[in-house]
């Protein structure tokens, strides 16, 4: 049975509002910056400058879904980046072992914090506040209070390399263009494959015109982003990593048993326990997952700076949490999507970049981001009170 337009708008009001807000922010700063915001170089820089926040947001969203959050991720990033700097610069260790060791450290940190929260009963805020202090201090110890670098070219490629153009066409990066077109084909295929499956099993479906418009709009967005990459140096390597994470985690949260359990636990943890869901184990797994992605983000951040620094990751946790809330996640848990968190992170990134181009000082930028976070959560509270 087809859903009418009124039901569609009512059910997806927050998601549509988020996309509209994203477009409004882009248009607003495009006008104020005289078009600089949407230059190919600047669009690529926005992706590269916010790559580690996008990675953290992907890991933070599952934790927020179960009604918790982690304010230690910035410190974990700095600590892992410091350890990687010591291993690469001082011990001359190859990239792959450093990558595995770093991700292992992130998993151990996540396990440590998850056990305190799930099985000891220490609130997540207190546990991760403790972690923030512990790992910020250990970062200074590991680095001896100074920056360590530079890194090898292989390590730096993690955040500064671009996909080579296998067709070698010159100014236009044909490989990136081909990837963008293939992604659009996949979007159309996936949307209409899902539609056919829903029809087959008797589920409610959107009007055909709506699904077609959805496929066209999303594909148009992909092609616009592809254009910016094509006209600069091509597709950044880190963008491929982020795209893979988005696809994997969107599938996990939207199409798997563990994804449904995340939403169930965030909606009502007691009811989830009574229905047989092992909520403590899920809490530990989400902390471990975030620890691994925080470690990965720490490596990307260190590679971008070309050094491990004691201040690395400062404030990143707030940007990631804000990205999830701005992207439609509920502060109470049980609501939110990976795509929403990514859009939220990009909104914050565009705002940061636009204000920087306009010459607005960092203190005003922090104040404005704080207000945005407050309004996003207030909107969530207001929406729930209307139900």
Predicted pLDDT of residue 291: 95
Question: By residue range, what is the domain housing residue 135?
Answer: 5-161+236-385
From the number of C-beta atoms within 10 Å of its C-beta (0-12, 13-18, 19+), residue 378 rates as exposed
214 found inside a domain: no
Tell me the residue ranges of DSSP E strands in 9-98: none
Which helix or strand (DSSP H or E) is residue 255 part of? Answer: helix 237-255
Tallying the residues shown for the chain, one arrives at 387
Q: What is the pLDDT of residue 380?
A: 66
Question: Peptide bond before 150: cis, by omega within 30 degrees of 0?
Answer: yes
In whole angstroms, give the CA distance from residue 152 to residue 150. Answer: 7
| Residues 64-81: tens digit of each pLDDT | 999 898 999 999 999 999
CATH number of the CATH domain containing 51: 1.10.3470
62 located within any domain: yes
Residue 327 in any domain: the answer is: yes
Other beta carbons less than 10 A from residue 129's beta carbon? 14
The answer as to whether 176 is a domain residue is: no
Kindly give, in sequence order, each residue whose CB lies less than 8 Å from that of residue 87, ignoring residues fewer than 6 positions away. 93, 97, 98, 101
Within a domain: 150: yes
> Measured between alpha carbons, how far is 60 from 52 in angstroms, rounded to an integer?
12
Give the per-residue pLDDT at 299: 93
Classify residue 251: in a domain, yes or no: yes
Q: Is residue 305 part of a domain?
A: yes
Query: What is the rounded distance in angstroms from the CA atom of residue 249 to the CA atom of residue 84?
Result: 26
- Helix axis angle, 279-305 relative to 51-65, nearest 10°? 170
Q: How many domains does the chain have?
A: 1
Q: What's the 3-state SS for 176-240?
A: HHHHHHHHHHHHHHHHHHHHHHHHHCCCCECCHHHHHHHHHHHHHHHHHHHHHHHCCCCCEHHHH
Angle, helices 237-255/153-160, rounded to nearest 10 degrees: 60
SS3 382: helix
pLDDT at 57 (0 to 100): 93
DSSP letter string, 101-164: HHHHHHHHHHHHHHHIIIII---HHHHHHHHHHHHHHHHHHHHTTS-B-PPPHHHHHHHH-B--
181 in a structural domain: no
Low-confidence ranges of the chain (pLDDT < 50): none
Which residues, 6 or more positions from 330, have their beta carbon under 8 angstroms from its beta carbon? 64, 266, 336, 380, 384
Please tell me the pTM assigned to this model: 0.89
308, β-bridge pairs: 148
C-alpha distance across the termini of the chain, in Å = 25
CB 175 within 8 A of CB 166: yes
């Amino acid at each position: 049975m087809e859903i009418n337009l009124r039901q569609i708008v009512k059910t997806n009001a927050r998601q549509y509002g988020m996309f509209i807000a994203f477009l409004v922010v882009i248009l607003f700063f495009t006008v104020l910056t005289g078009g600089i915001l949407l230059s190919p170089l600047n669009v690529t820089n926005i992706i590269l400058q916010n790559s580690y926040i996008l990675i953290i947001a992907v890991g933070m969203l599952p934790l927020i879904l179960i009604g918790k959050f982690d304010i230690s991720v910035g410190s974990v990033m700095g600590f892992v980046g410091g350890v990687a700097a010591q291993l690469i610069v001082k011990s001359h260790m190859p990239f792959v072992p450093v990558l595995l060791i770093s991700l292992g450290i992130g998993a151990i940190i996540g396990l440590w914090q998850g056990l305190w929260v799930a099985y000891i009963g220490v609130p997540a805020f207190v546990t991760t506040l403790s972690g923030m202090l512990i790992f910020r201090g250990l970062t200074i110890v590991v680095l001896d209070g100074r920056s360590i670098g530079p890194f090898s070219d292989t390590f730096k490629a993690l955040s500064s390399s671009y996909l080579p153009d296998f067709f070698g066409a010159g100014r236009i990066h044909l490989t990136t263009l081909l990837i963008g077109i293939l992604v659009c084909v996949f979007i159309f295929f996936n949307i209409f494959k899902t539609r056919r499956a829903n029809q087959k099993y008797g589920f409610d479906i959107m009007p055909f015109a709506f699904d077609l418009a959805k496929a066209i709009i999303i594909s148009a967005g992909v092609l616009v982003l592809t254009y910016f990459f094509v006209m600069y140096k091509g597709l950044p390597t880190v963008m491929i990593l982020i795209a893979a994470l988005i696809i994997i985690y969107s599938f996990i949260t939207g199409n798997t048993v563990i994804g449904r359990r995340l939403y169930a636990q965030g909606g009502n943890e007691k009811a989830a326990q009574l229905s047989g869901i092992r909520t403590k184990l899920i809490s530990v797994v989400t902390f471990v997952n975030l620890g691994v992605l925080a470690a990965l983000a720490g490596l990307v951040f260190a590679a971008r700076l070309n050094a491990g620094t004691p201040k690395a990751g400062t404030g990143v946790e707030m940007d990631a949490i804000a990205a999830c809330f701005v992207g439609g996640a509920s502060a109470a848990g049980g609501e939110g999507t990976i795509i929403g968190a990514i859009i939220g992170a990009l909104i914050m990134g565009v705002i940061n970049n636009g204000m920087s181009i306009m010459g607005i000082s960092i203190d005003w930028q922090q104040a404005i981001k704080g207000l945005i976070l407050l309004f996003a959560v207030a909107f969530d509270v207001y929406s729930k009170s209307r139900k």
